[in-house]
Every structure is written in structure tokens, then in C-alpha cells.
Structure 1
């Protein structure tokens, strides 16, 4: 029974880890950003979205793509248990096309990510 409780609490902790505080983006966009942060910058916690700009590009016949530039602040723990704060800049894009993986319209992609130690 203890194993089940521990497993459930770890699962809940992982789910809440994927959220970015202060972000009003869709969950699938946030998940993509947190995965990219983990792959490119390493494990981070306390992710807080500081700013975001959006640029709408009108393609044709009502089709619109949106380019996002998002500034996130995150914390990483080093081997010596010191906390380092990073400014993470992510350039992402919402394309008005069918996303086969989620079976919905619109897909998100990351075009660049930059992690700078504060």
C-alpha cells in the first residue's frame, strides 16, 4: 500500500512539474516547452513565465500562424546543492495545420531555445 501511495505522489509531482507558473499557453505548448528546456538546458524547477510576445502571420484564406518569443526563469540544482537561476528564451510557433499526434487542429514547434545563467 505504501508503494502505491508513493508512486501516486511521484506521478502527481511529475505532472505539476510540467506546468509553467504564470503561463496562459495551452498545456500541450507548455509541455513542449518544458521538454525542450529539459533536453537543452537540463533539469529545471520553479519555471516562471516572465514575458511573451506573439506575432501573427496571415498566410492565405484565413489561415494564421503565430510566432511566440517566451522568456522563462528557472532554477537548476548543481552537484553541490547550489541553486543556479537561468533565463530561458524560447522561440516557438503555432502552425494552423492538422496535428496527427494529438488529432486536433494546430501544432506547436520549437525553433530555438537559449539558456543563460543569471
Structure 2
């Protein structure tokens, strides 16, 4: 065994792959991203926009802050609604803050 630099052997270089494998990998990652992240989120956003457009006076709603009340006034041009949470107690919130429309009679059962 010689310790000289001249007798050192280079390791066999790995075979270089073509660019096709990289493109296939990027395509697979793109499809996974689309079907697992983008598409479900876009569907939720579309449903929430439909919910906000369908709000009307008298609907019982749940806000993101946890308030349950009945809509007493809808302002289309300003994107705000007035929610009656108790007698003589009203709160003004943005339409985007409403997370769900509850079935009629939910407030009485609470």
C-alpha cells in the first residue's frame, strides 16, 4: 500500500441522468400540489362567496368570533351586515366574518 498521491484512484462517477426524469418529477409535484392544496382551497373560497352572496334579512348566522345571531340588516354596497344577538343588542360585522348560516330555530334551542 503506497501513500503517494499519484497512486490515488478516482471513484467511478455516477451516470448522468437526462433532463426527462427531472421534468417528470416536477410535473408529478405540480399535480400533487394542484389536487391536494390548490383545488380544495379554491372550492372552499367559492362556497364561502356563494354563502355571502345569499345572505338575507332573517337568516340565523354564526360568525368566526363565535357569535350567534339573526341578520337584521344587509348592506350590499359596503359588505357589512347588522346582526341582532339579543333584544336591543346589535352588532355590525363584515360579511366575510360570517362562517355559517344556521337552520331556522337554532337560536331558540340554544
TM-score bracket for the superposition, by shorter chain length: under 0.3
Q: Larger % of strand: which?
A: 1
Larger relative helix fraction: 2
TM-score w.r.t. the length of structure 1 is 0.26
TM-score norm. by structure 2 comes to 0.27
Structure number with larger C-alpha Rg: 2
